Structure 1
């Protein structure tokens, strides 16, 4: 039997952290100028990469971090710095350099990780996995993670008509807004990591 309370808790927590709605302007800016089919492919590839990364960390994350002597704040700070680089490229109009490589690269970085499967989502999932004590709680956590990724895919997939509607000028505006939002997320990640280091958690 599914533990509905745990399922809802996992879904709501990851939904807030991964923010499907907030992902839309960033996705639109990164896929601007690409064909509809390429953008659709980038959406499901990014979700697949995110799901794979979060699943791997849920199963083996703590062991890997312990083996490499990496703390969770260090992982969070690294993800924040990587996002900050992406945000600066969006803000300074250099996103063409970032998106000029193969289509799969956009789905891998920055969409799949660290934007979707970022430090916050990874850490939250690892904490939920620690609550698993039987098959029903494990199934609830798994279904919560799957549901969030379906929401992420739907948000990106059905944002594509917006891209055709707003045209080039709108894309430029969305790109700058996305860069601002992403830089704020990145700075918050780094700030939280520094606070954790000061508190002695790193």
Structure 2
């Protein structure tokens, strides 16, 4: 079970990317008080958690209703995660997040960023939804499902802490350290995504 937890934790940590979300959140909440920023960080993480747990618990039924086989979803999810990994390695993901943050910051009437863009699409984006559904479907039995949900809870707790401490963290680490971490996590995610595609192809063709 520890291996299942570790695999789920690493996958979700890389996809949700707390180190990458923290500086974006710091920029979005620059004009907010410390209390306002803290409340929005907690709300964003809780909303993202509800969305991801919903897909983890009911994603398989959704696939069944749409007549999508699990192996097809493994391949599609793996490819999606691989594209995210490429963006992380070449720093395009961070660039897109910053552009989105600038657009939100340039709109004076938008004050609460907890739902958009933080909860969705930054935390509970397509990649995170695909990852949590894949992990839940890979888990064996109720115990495996609980382990995956536990890993998700741990990643979201770290994410919440990173968002709350976003300002001090940015001063401590700086842009260069964040870029190195992002690239390393991107390489790791690419390998995990490739494994999902391989498993899906094996299942589809009975290899």
Asked if Structure 1 and Structure 2 have the same fold, meaning a TM-score greater than 0.5 normalized by the shorter chain, the answer is yes
Alignment correspondent of 1:61: 63
User: CA 1:159–1:67 in structure 2 vs 1: closer, same or farther (change >3 Å)?
Assistant: closer
How many Å separate the matches in 2 of 1:125 and 1:194? 16
User: CA 1:144–1:200 in structure 2 vs 1: closer, same or farther (change >3 Å)?
Assistant: closer
1:92-107 alignment runs, 5 A limit = 93-99=95-101, 100-101=103-104, 103=113, 104-107=116-119
Q: Is the 8 A contact 2:75 2:201 kept in 1?
A: no
Say if 2:78 is the partner of 1:76.
yes
For structure 1, list consecutive stretches of 5 or more residues without a partner in the other structure. 1-5, 133-137
- Alignment equivalent of 1:30, drawn from 14, 24, 33: 24
Q: Larger deviation: 148-157 or 163-172? A: 163-172
Shift of 1:71: 4.4
Shift of 1:150: 2.5
How many Å separate the matches in 1 of 2:197 and 2:148? 28
User: CA 1:90–1:68 in structure 2 vs 1: closer, same or farther (change >3 Å)?
Assistant: closer
Q: How many residues align?
A: 185
Q: Is the 8 A contact 1:77 1:189 kept in 2?
A: no
The TM-score with structure 2 as length reference comes to 0.65
- Alignment equivalent of 1:89, drawn from 85, 89, 92: 92
User: CA 1:30–1:10 in structure 2 vs 1: closer, same or farther (change >3 Å)?
Assistant: same
Shift of 1:50: 1.8
- Alignment equivalent of 2:50, drawn from 48, 51, 67: 48
Q: Larger deviation: 29-38 or 62-71? A: 62-71
- Alignment equivalent of 1:192, drawn from 190, 195, 205: 195
1:85-105, CA deviations, whole angstroms, 9 ceiling, x for partnerless residues?
4663345x4532133347323
Alignment correspondent of 2:184: 181
Shift of 1:17: 2.9
Q: Name the Cα RMSD after superposition.
A: 3.8
